[in-house]
Amino acid sequence: MGLVVQKFGGTSVGSAERILHVAERVIEERNRGNDVVVVVSAMGKTTDSLVTLASEINPKPSKREMDVLLSTGEQITISLLSMALQAKGVDAISYTGWQAGIETEDVHGNARIVKIQTEKVQEQLQQGKVVVVAGFQGVTDTGDITTLGRGGSDTTAVAIAAALKADKCDIYTDVTGVFTTDPRFVKSARKLLAISYDEMLELANLGAGVLHPRAVEYAKNYQVPLVVRSSMEQEEGTIIEEEVSMEQNLVVRGVAFEDNITSVTVFGLRNPLTSLSTIFTTLASHHINVDIIIQSLTNDQLTNLSFSIKDSDLEETLNVLEENKAELGYDKVTSEQGLAKVSIVGSGMISNPGVAADMFKVLSQEKIIIKMVSTSEIKVSTVIEKEKMVKAVEILHDAFELSKLPVHV
């Protein structure tokens, strides 16, 4: 007898009917002879509605109170799914994050899990129960409720699977697996049968919302076999694992994208030795995440610096730069909003030079101007105008022959 952790996302538990259907998927797994821990998200768009509700009360709500509010979404689902299982004759018990022993660091809105005390969950499993755990939430060592960041229920599931040494973790969602790109935007996207942890981590970090990046990080660190599959269709999903054989010698395995990117340029920084460290230390202390960074030295020994941030961080970034202008010593700051980042990912790039060049050529043929670039061993990212984002994804998806992959069902 094995142990399986199943996770069901918001759409999959979006109505009473769907919760009853999820109960059937849990029972199927039990009938295969496995113990089951189920992790669920809030129903449908509940979390978004709660965020809107808070903004109607207070335009800048405290992060602690936001966590108390947002964690209620998942609490609704755990009770309803347990009731659904009980109605179908299966013994089940619901646990909030803190009841399930999920301890996090003391950070609101984006906490990391530091420890999971599994005793209670294990006791209930031993009594033959299905344990239904609220995703996305935990508790600090001083007893405050925290949340793990949007999409964080995936991370709860993988972390519990790792702590319980489960045989696998199945992420049930509204698509049939991990695709070469978001199938909602690109019709020729193809489901991959397998993808490596490293590639999936890049895709998730670069905007492929199908998995929370920390869930992939956890799965890799603890070597948890992870499967993404549909909660509706009985279709084989995508396995995410350490080593993956190259499907048809693919150099690129996926295209990821995200919008709401802003680039900021600081002109004429006077101190080449310290400007960079001072700027980025200051921004980090305000929790502003900087992504791509480009620096160039001008003829008169001044430094120009461009970097990309999320649109939502622009106001604070400009304020921070202005407040520290004297210390930083620069001429002026400009910014450009309405940008997007489009990235290609694949471990085949390591042994294939010229992939970045091919990407730039494809974009230039479509007259898409590249504003920023960043690369790693297995990815190339470009920042372009937001209006061109979907077009860029489509042409790159075709150019790297992902549209020609067989359709797996």
Binding residues for ATP: 7-10, 173-174, 184
> Shortest distance, CB of residue 368 to ligand ASP, whole angstroms?
31
Nearest CA to 275 out of 197, 344, 327, 222 is that of 327
In the bound state with Mg ion, the residue whose beta carbon lies nearer, of 9 and 348, is 9
**x/- letters, 291..330, toward ligand ADP (CB under 6 A):** ----------------------------------------
Binding partner of residue 44 among ligand ASP, Mg ion, ligand ADP, none, CB under 5 to 8 Å per kind?
A: none
Q: Please state, in angstroms and rounded to a whole number, the distance separating the CA atoms of residues 352 and 46.
A: 45
In the bound state with ligand ASP, the residue whose beta carbon lies nearer, of 71 and 317, is 71
**x/- letters, 114..153, toward ligand ASP (CB under 6 A):** ---------------------xx-------------xxxx
* Residue 210 contacts residue 173 (beta carbons within 8 Å): yes
Is 179 a binding residue for ligand ADP by CB under 6 A? The answer is yes
Q: Quick one: DSSP state of residue 191? A: B
**x/- letters, 148..187, toward ligand ASP (CB under 6 A):** --xxxx----------------------------------
Q: What amino acid is encoded at 133 in this protein?
A: V
> Shortest distance, CB of residue 307 to ligand ADP, whole angstroms?
25
Structure token pair of residue 205? 């970090």
Q: What is the DSSP string of 235-271?
A: ---EEEES----GGG-S--EEEEEEEEEEEEEEEES-
Binding partner of residue 348 among ligand ASP, ligand ADP, Mg ion, none, CB under 5 to 8 Å per kind?
A: none
Among 44, 151, 207, 346, binds Mg ion (CB under 5 A): 151
Is 10 a binding residue for ligand ASP by CB under 6 A? The answer is yes
Nearest CA to 356 out of 366, 345, 365 is that of 345
* Residue 262 contacts residue 339 (beta carbons within 8 Å): yes
Q: Which of residues 56-85 bind ligand ASP (CB under 6 A)?
A: 73
Is 235 a binding residue for ligand ADP by CB under 6 A? The answer is no
Binding partner of residue 152 among Mg ion, ligand ASP, ligand ADP, none, CB under 5 to 8 Å per kind?
A: ligand ASP
Among 11, 12, 41, 140, binds ligand ASP (CB under 6 A): 41
Is 101 a binding residue for ligand ADP by CB under 6 A? The answer is no
In the bound state with ligand ASP, the residue whose beta carbon lies nearer, of 153 and 263, is 153
SS3 (DSSP) at 389: helix
Tally: H helices and E strands in the chain: 12, 18
How many residues would you count in the chain?
A: 409
Nearest CA to 303 out of 271, 348, 326, 263 is that of 271
Binding partner of residue 343 among ligand ADP, Mg ion, ligand ASP, none, CB under 5 to 8 Å per kind?
A: none
* Residue 82 contacts residue 26 (beta carbons within 8 Å): no
- Options 63-71, 203-211, 266-274, 381-389: segment touching ligand ADP (CB under 6 A): 203-211
Q: Please state, in angstroms and rounded to a whole number, the distance separating the CA atoms of residues 96 and 239.
A: 28
Place of tokens 């790109």: 181
> Shortest distance, CB of residue 184 to ligand ADP, whole angstroms?
4
Nearest CA to 363 out of 333, 326, 345, 388 is that of 388
Nearest CA to 162 out of 90, 93, 227, 224 is that of 224
Contacts of 318-322 spanning 24+ positions with Cβ under 8 A: 318/264, 320/282, 320/283, 320/286, 320/288, 321/264, 321/266, 321/279
Exposed (0-12), middle (13-18) or buried (19+): which is 381, by Cβ within 10 Å?
buried
- Options 146-154, 254-262, 362-370, 390-398: segment touching Mg ion (CB under 5 A): 146-154
Site residues for ligand ASP per CB under 6 A = 9-10, 41-42, 47, 73, 135-136, 150-153
Site residues for ligand ADP per CB under 6 A = 9-12, 41, 151, 173-175, 178-179, 181-184, 208-210, 254
Site residues for Mg ion per CB under 5 A = 9, 151
